[in-house]
Amino acid sequence: MKKGCVAILSTVLGAVAGAATSKVISDKTINQKAEKVDKFKSYYNMLNQWLLIKQEGKSLESWFIENEYKTVAIYGMGEMGNRLYDELNNTSINVKYGIDKNAGATYSDLEVCSLDDCLEEVDVVIVTAIFAFDEIEEEIGDIILAPIVSLEDVVYEL
């Protein structure tokens, strides 16, 4: 009789543990998907604002001029970094280089460095990975002496 009770108890406990583990995994997956949706919403909203600025005949260049930033480094040379470079290229703002963790595998017309490279002094670093700005700012704050600003702030302050 005891063996039967132990077997039933083991089965019930196993089912409960399995259900709890399944719930934890499911919740983690849902949270990851929600974070991804939030990330893309942030990009969408920022790009929409950027487009409105362009339609008004303005350029991001004016933000840099107003803040007296003449030399710039762009952190994050994915799509947003390349769009920012395109926007500032051939303006009065000198984009000296890009910074990316995957510098060797990044495609850009701009020189792309890693944080381990000797980074030339600039007036400001613009972070294009807006969803991870706080972590990036903390990571590079001791390496780069220039102000570190989110691209999102640049776009919304115009």
Question: What's the mean pLDDT in 106-132?
Answer: 92
| pLDDT for 1 beyond 70 | no
Q: Which backbone phi and psi does 57 adopt, to 5 degrees?
A: 80, 15
Question: What's the mean pLDDT in 106-135?
Answer: 93
Are the beta carbons of 146 and 123 closer than 8 angstroms? Answer: yes
Task: Say what the pTM is.
Answer: 0.82
Q: Same structural domain for residues 68 and 138?
A: yes
Are the beta carbons of 74 and 85 closer than 8 angstroms? Answer: yes
Question: CATH number for the domain including 77?
Answer: 3.40.50.720
Q: How confident is the model at residue 70, as a pLDDT? A: 98
Q: Same structural domain for residues 128 and 92?
A: yes
- Dihedral sign for Cα atoms in the order 71, 75, 79, 80: negative
* pLDDT-based confidence at residue 118 (cuts at 50, 70, 90): confident
Provide the domain limits for residue 38: 1-56
Residues 58-91, buried b or exposed e (16+ Cβ, 10 A)?
ebbeebbeeeebebbbbbbbeebbbbbbebbeee
Are the beta carbons of 149 and 134 closer than 8 angstroms? Answer: no
Q: Same structural domain for residues 73 and 51?
A: no
Q: How confident is the model at residue 27, as a pLDDT? A: 67
Q: Which residue would you say has higher pLDDT here, 48 or 7?
A: 48
| pLDDT for 105 beyond 90 | no
State how many domains the chain has.
Answer: 2
Q: Same structural domain for residues 90 and 149?
A: yes
* pLDDT-based confidence at residue 144 (cuts at 50, 70, 90): very high
Q: Same structural domain for residues 129 and 141?
A: yes
| pLDDT for 32 beyond 70 | yes
Question: What's the mean pLDDT in 66-78?
Answer: 97
Q: Same structural domain for residues 32 and 71?
A: no
